[in-house]
Chain A
Amino acid sequence: MKETPAFERILAEWLDDQARPTPPDHVLSAALERTSRTPQGSRRLLVAWRPLSPVLASTRSRLRLVLLLALLLVAALGAAILAGAFVRERDRVPSEQGLIAFERQGDIWVTTPDGTTRQITSTTEAESAPVLSPDGSRLAWLALDGDHAHLVVADPDGSRPTVHQPPAGSIVPGEGPIYGWSADGERVALFARGAPGSAGAGLERVLVLDVGSDRWVVPTVDSGQSTTFGWSPVGSLLGIREIRGWNVALGVLVPGESDPRWLLDESSIYDGARFTHDGRAIVLHRQSSGSTLDGDIVSIDVADGTLTKLIGGPTNDVAPAVSPDGTLLAFARSSAPTMIAAVDPLLADPSSSDLYVMPLAGGTARLLVRDVWPGVVWSPDGRHLLARTRDRQDILLVSLQEGEAPRAGPDIDWHEYQPPVWATGPP
C-alpha cells in the first residue's frame, strides 16, 4: 500500500478540522423552501429570439405606442451624445474581429470583443464547452443529459440545432472539453471515455464527428488512451497525442481515416503542441538535455517528422502559438524557473511567466506583457492576443502595436483544455 506523504497527512488533518463546523440551519431551510416552489426538469433547449412586433402589438393604444417611441428616440439620442462624449477611440475594438463563444452559469453565450453579448441557451440544465466553427457559421456545445452529455450543433444564434449522441462504447463527460472544429467546418473533435463494460472502459479517447453525415470516428491508438492537440488551420488534420508508458507519441489523423500517422515517440516531449498556420508543422515545448528547468520551443515537420529548434538557450519557454499569417510566434517565458515548472512544464510557473512574441523565422523576442498565465489565442487578423492574468481570473486583450498597453478583455470563462475560439465570421 502506498504511504501517504507527511505533508498530505498534515493537510488532510487540517482540512478535516476546517470542515468540522456544521452548516447554518437557514441554508437547508432556504434551499428546501426554494425547491418547494420550483418546477422540476422542464427542458427548454433553446430560447427563441424575442421579436419586437408582439411587444408592440400588446400596447393598448396608439397614443401609448407613440409616447413609447418618442421616449425611445430621446433615450437613443441621449445615449449617442453621451457615447460620443465619453468613449475614447482607443477603448473600442472593432466588432468585425468576430465572435467569441463561452459558457456562463450553465448556459451558452456569444460575445463580440467589443462586448455585444447574446445568450444562446437558457435552460434549467447545464450546457457547456461552446466552440464556434472557424468561419463563425456554426456553434457546437455539450448538453448534459443526465450524468453524461451529448453534442449539439446549431447556428451561432442557437437556431437549427441538431443533437448528436456519442457512439456506442463511448461516453462524453458533462463538461467536455470539445477540442474544436476542423478548418473546413465539417468535423468536431471532443473528449470522451470508454463506456463501462466496453473495450477500453474508462480510458480517455478522442471522438470525431462528421457533422454532415452524423458519422463518428474513434482514432485507433496502441494504448487505447489518447487526446488531441487540435486541428490544423488548413487541411483538416487532427493532432493526436498518445501516452505510451513513459513516452508521449504525437501524430496526425487524416480526414476519413481512423489510423493516425505517427511523427515521433519519445520521453522528453511535453504538451503544448499546436499546428502552425499552414498545418505543415507542429510547434511545441520540449525539455532540453533532460532538464526540467530548461525548455525549448521546437517545430516538427508534418510531412517527414523533421525536428527543428526555434527557441533554445537557458530560458524555460512554453505554450507556443503561431500567428494566423505564420509570421510571428507567441510564447510564455518563465524568467525564474521553479519547481512548479518542473512538475508541469505546460503550465510553467504561474508566478513569473511573461508573454513574448518573435518572428517565426527567427530574430529578437519582444516582451508584450508580464505576469500572465501561459497560453494565448490569436485574433484572426493577428493584431491582438487574448491572454489570462497570472491568477487566471481576468482576460487581457494584448495588442501587438508597440506602446499600446494591454487592457481588459471580454468577461468570459476559459476552460483549461479548451481555449476560447476567436472566429472570423460576422457577428
Chain B
Amino acid sequence: MAGDHEAFSDLARASIARLHALARLVLRDGAQADDATQEALVAAWRQLPSLRDPDRFEPWLHRLLVRACYREASRHRRRRTIEARVTPLETMAPDPGLLIADQDQLGRGFDRLSPEQRALVVLRIHLEVPVRDTAEILGLPEGTVKSRLNRTIQELRALLEADDRPPVTATRLA
C-alpha cells in the first residue's frame, strides 16, 4: 500500500502541471482548477486498481479530470448568460484570426464557450490529443469530436467578430 502510494505520488508529480493547466483552461478559474485537479487525483488513486491497460493511463487520467471539471463547473454554474449575435457565413472576413487586435479579445471569446467546448479545444489544439483519445476522454463518438471542434472554432471566430462590433449588439440577460 505504501509502495503503491509512493508510485502514485511520482505519477501525480509528473502529471500535475499538465492536469492543472487543462483544468485552468477548461474552468477559467484558478481556485476551481485547484479543486478539480485534486478531485481527479483522488479519483485516480481510488480507481487505479481497475485500470487494466497502463498504456491508457494518460487518457484515463484526462477523462477523470474532465469529469471533475464538469462537476466543478456545474457547481459554479453561471446564471447569467451573454447574448452575442453572430455573423452569417457570407459576411465573414476570410480569416478573422489575422484580425485579432489583442490577446484579451481571444480570452473573452474563449471564456464565452461552454466548459465542454473549452475541454474539446484544449485537448485537440493545445494538448494535441488524437481524435480517438479525445473521443474516449469526452465520451463522444469520433465523428462528433471532429464536427463539434469545427463548430466550436467557428463559434469562437463568430464571437470574436461580435466582440469587434459596437456594444449595441450585446445584451445582458438576467
Contacts and interface: CB of A to CB of B under 8 A. Distances in A.
Given A11-B97, A35-B41, A126 B81 contact: no
Contacts of B150: 343-344
A157 interface: no
A119 B38 CA distance: 24
A24 B33 CA distance: 10
Interface in B89-144: 89, 92, 95-98, 100, 103, 106-107, 110, 114, 121-122, 125-126, 132, 135-136, 138-144
A15 B25 contact: yes
Interface residues of B, number: 85
Contact of B45 (A35, A43, A125, A144): A35
Interface string A209-245: 0000000000000000001000000000000000100
Contacts of A31: 12, 37-38, 41-42
A342 B89 contact: yes
Interface in B128-174: 132, 135-136, 138-144, 147-148, 150-151, 153-158, 173
B17 A23 contact: yes
Contacts of B173: 371
A404 interface: no
A299 B78 CA distance: 38
Looking at chain B's contact residues, the main secondary structure is: helix
A401 interface: no
B46 A344 contact: no
Nearest to A347: B151
Looking at chain A's contact residues, the main secondary structure is: loop
A28 B125 contact: no
A191 B126 contact: no
A413 B24 CA distance: 22
Contacts of B60: 147
B122 A15 contact: yes
Contacts of A393: 74, 77-79, 81
Nearest to A149: B139
B16 A23 contact: yes
A348 to B, nearest CB: 11
Interface in A9-32: 9-12, 14-24, 26-28, 30-32
Contacts of B3: none
Given A391-B81, A392-B114, A16 B154 contact: no
A176 B67 CA distance: 14
A289 to B, nearest CB: 16
Given A28-B16, A126-B67, A204-B141, A11 B121 contact: yes
A403 B5 CA distance: 60
Nearest to A342: B89
A271 B102 CA distance: 38
Contacts of B78: 391, 393
A402 B165 CA distance: 38
Contacts of B48: 40-41
Given A9-B97, A23-B16, A144-B50, A344 B83 contact: no
Q: How large is the interface on A (under 10, 10 to 19, 20 to 34, 35 or more residues)?
A: 35 or more
A31 B35 CA distance: 9
Contacts of B154: 339-340, 343
Nearest to A392: B114
Contact of A7 (B8, B34, B50, B157): B157
Interface string A283-295: 0000000001100
A12 B103 CA distance: 12
A200 B41 CA distance: 34
Given A41-B50, A145-B50, A339-B158, A19 B139 contact: no
Contacts of B16: 23, 27-28
Contacts of B71: 105
A340 B151 contact: yes
A126 B46 CA distance: 11
A293 B154 CA distance: 15
B86 A339 contact: yes
Interface centre among B22, B47, B98, B154 (most CB of A within 10 A): B47
Nearest to A41: B49
A146 interface: yes
Interface of A: 5-12, 14-24, 26-28, 30-32, 34-36, 38-41, 43, 105-106, 124-126, 128, 144-147, 173-177, 191, 202, 204, 227, 243, 292-293, 336-340, 342-344, 347, 349-352, 371, 389-394, 413, 415-417
Given A7-B157, A15-B122, A43-B50, 6 more contacts: A11-B97, A24-B34, A31-B12, A32-B12, A144-B50, A351-B86
